Structure 1
Amino acid sequence: MIVMEDSEIRIRHYSSKHKILLVGEGDFSFSLCLASAFGSATNITATSLDSEDELSKKYMDAMVNVSMLARFGCDVQHEGFLENAKEMLEENGEIHITHKTTYPFSDWEIERLAKAEGLKLAKESKFERSHYPGYNNKRGSGGRESDKYFPVGECSTLMFIQK
């Protein structure tokens, strides 16, 4: 649900007035969903663990999405993230990581990894794909298989702050 209040546009826990850092974007459709809703992405940095070359091989729409994000003013970054994330946060900033919560994904222990980097879990919220029009979740690995949809299943958005 998109809500507009006094030049602020909100889509769930995201606001056009937030400075947003998105991690592990896959084909960048989630970033593009927010940018489209806000009408701008000058407040968004979107990251991918993949290089541009890997993105174009793995996801059919990735480079088109990246190009559209550039037109919205988004800062798109490739390769690497969590160890440097806290350095990118401004005062009162948050890092949101949306992740499956069932086995084997729960074994990734994202909260423990974030804690080791000096971050603290501030909030956890159930993720509902239907709240984000235009977002197409993708696998993330497996060559061209990465471009295939997968059932989201049980997911949460973990919101971290600096300790």
Structure 2
Amino acid sequence: MVLQQQECEEKWLMHYSSLHQILLVGDGDFSFSLCLANSFGSASNILASSLDSYGKVTKKYKNAESNLKKLRRLGATILHRVDAINMKLHTDLRMRKFDRIIFNFPHAGFYGKEDDNRLIQMHRSLIQGFFRNASGMLRAGGEIHVNHKTTPPFCHWNLTELASKSSLLLIECVDFNSADYPGYNQKRGDSARCDEPFYLGKCSTFKFIFSPSAYKIPNSLNHNGLAQRHPRVSVTTPQLSTKFDAPYPFNAHTAMNGSSHCAGLSQSSGCFQIFGGYFSHARETFGKVEYDIVSSVRRELDHAYMKYMAERPGCGLSGYINLLEELLDLSSSRSAWLRENLVCLDQQLMQAPQFLLGNLMAPCHHV
């Protein structure tokens, strides 16, 4: 029971949450993945990958075998022979979506001096292929993070330009400090010195989001060179008379529109006690465009299951299934209520002045 409660508790390390579905690409000796897993107390949300086979990884890095064993013990999914430039076609990845996709210090290999134009183009080709794949593997609101050196010649890779070709916008660029990730060891990954660390110097975490308008990056940059998240445009309109005064009618004390399905829904009801967080979450996120509804609802239902198992040990699943059926009835009633009232609102809008309709029909600018 205590373990279930711990797994349910959200934990953060820098930009990463234990509730994020995380994909790590080309993770060297897997020490970054292990760092996240140790911080979360679990790796059930982590999929860590390498370009090399298991045999090559454990031969190249002295700590790799130990790191991999610890990751598996914590519940991580491990994949080998995953190429960043075609990973979306991988059998175990083609149907997966992630909240965070991380590529730490991508490098095409040591084939000359880093300022050689030919080598820079090799690096750029690797990054562009990664962006092209990763852009289609994000959940709604997900982010792609690339940790990268920012001094010459590495700055000449121009990550922002490469990202825009895959409909990705740079939303933030923050300093990367390896000390923030205890146990992480950056590795050269190539040549006879593959297990040696490389000098980091000045480097940053570049954060990208998917946006169909990314090709307009030059017009979307602020003075820091970052694409801005456009806020939703608020349109002031005359108040319309409707049957309802809240987008989500469930609350702790009232029933919805007198529906028999919802009568008596109160803080003392078994359904509300278990799924109260779900009801509150639905009210708080109603109409938000940046939410991944499927994953957020699943997360709230997972929390409800953990709460049920913790508070009612020995009750078995039959009681929980009954509560789920009650929740389904409530959700069906809510959907019917919303349809009825949205039709009413639509009729009122059709009778509204033409200038008001023009404002309401104007597109909202948001990511």
TM bin (shorter chain): 0.7 to 0.9
Q: Which residue of 2 aligns with 1:161?
A: 209
Q: Which residue of 2 aligns with 1:16?
A: 18
Alpha-carbon distance between aligned partners in 2 of 1:47 and 1:120, rounded to the nearest angstrom? 24
Q: Root-mean-square deviation (CA), in Å?
A: 1.9
Give the number of aligned pairs.
157
Greater RCO, 1 or 2 (C-alpha within 8 Å, sep 6+): 1
Out of 140, 159, 181, the residue aligned to residue 110 of structure 1 is 159
1:130 aligns with 2:179: yes
Alpha-carbon distance between aligned partners in 2 of 1:113 and 1:45, rounded to the nearest angstrom? 25
The alpha-carbon deviation at position 19 of structure 1 amounts to 1.8
Query: SS at the partner of 1:40?
Result: coil
The alpha-carbon deviation at position 84 of structure 1 amounts to 2.0
Deviations 1:71-92 (Å, cap 9, x if unpaired)? 2222223321213212221111
Percent of matched pairs sharing the same residue: 49
The alpha-carbon deviation at position 155 of structure 1 amounts to 0.9
Identify unmatched segments of 5+ residues in structure 2: 1-7, 85-129, 212-367
- Mark the structure with the bigger radius of gyration: 2
Alpha-carbon distance between aligned partners in 1 of 2:209 and 2:160, rounded to the nearest angstrom? 11
1:97 aligns with 2:146: yes
The alpha-carbon deviation at position 123 of structure 1 amounts to 1.3
More helix by percentage: 2
Q: Which residue of 1 aligns with 2:53?
A: 51
Change (3 A) 1:77 1:106: farther
Q: Which amino acid aligns with 1:112?
A: E
More strand by percentage: 1
Alpha-carbon distance between aligned partners in 2 of 1:23 and 1:133, rounded to the nearest angstrom? 19
TM-score, scaled relative to structure 2 = 0.40
Q: Which runs of structure 2 are paired with 1:52-91 in the superposition (5 Å)?
A: 52-78=54-80, 79-81=82-84, 82=130, 83-91=132-140
Contact 1:47 1:77 in 2 (8 A): yes
Q: Which amino acid aligns with 2:137?
A: M
Q: Which residue of 1 aligns with 2:170?
A: 121
Q: Which moved more, 1:36-45 or 1:114-123?
A: 114-123
Deviations 1:51-109 (Å, cap 9, x if unpaired)? 32332232111232122212222222332121321222111111111111122322333
Q: Which amino acid aligns with 1:154?
A: K
Out of 193, 196, 202, the residue aligned to residue 148 of structure 1 is 196
